[in-house]
Copies of this chain bind each other. A is one copy, B any other.
């Protein structure tokens, strides 16, 4: 497969972010492990949990998540890329069945290649369109 134009960092980061959710949906432990940095510090905050720090702890948690028999498809949407030279955020929403989560994915260049170094996701209030009373102007609950 050849490309007419070289991929930009933004293209690469969006493709890696898609690969992350494809590995998640496909329960592909090897593909998930390949996305995370090998030597840079890595960390992960699963919904409802505190920080896991270190590649071993993070990948062990993903093994648990991916081996759980949920069969749920995880689909990203509304991706935004924020570039900071050798690091970059991909922000997105995650659709898991009826739940919508907001996610931060941090990628950092390691030996010239973008690798995932941090993930946090947390539940979002239901979007207006999915709320039963569309004329209810009350904002979603906020803890901050």
Among B47, B49, B85, B118, contact of A104 (Cβ-Cβ < 8 Å): B118
- Contact assessment for A143 and B99 in the assembled complex, using a CB-CB cutoff below 8 Å: yes
Contact A46 B84 (CB under 8 A): no
**A23 within 8 A of partner (CB):** no
Are A80 and B47 also in contact (CB < 8 A) when A65-B144, A143-B123 are? no
Q: Categorize the interface residue count of chain A.
A: 35 or more
Does A121 sit at the interface, judged by CB under 8 A?
A: yes
- Specify how many copies of this chain sit in the oligomer: 2
Minimum CB–CB distance from A12 to chain B (whole Å) comes to 17
Instruction: Answer whether residue A125 sits at the interface, using C-beta atoms and an 8 A cutoff.
Output: yes
**Is A59's beta carbon under 8 Å from chain B?**
no
The answer to whether B51 and A80 touch across the interface, beta carbons within 8 angstroms, is yes
Decide: B102 and A51 in contact? CB cutoff 8 A.
yes
Q: Are A45 and B142 in contact (CB under 8 A)?
A: no
Contacts of A104 in B (CB 8 A): 45, 104, 106, 118, 120
In contact, B106 and A89 (Cβ under 8 angstroms): yes
A43, B82: Cβ atoms under 8 Å?
A: yes
Given contacts A53-B80, A106-B106, A120-B104, contact A143 B86 (CB under 8 A): no
Q: Which residues does A use to contact B, with CB under 8 Å?
A: 40-41, 43, 45-51, 53, 65, 78, 80, 82-87, 89, 91, 93, 96, 99, 101-102, 104, 106, 108, 117-118, 120-125, 140-144
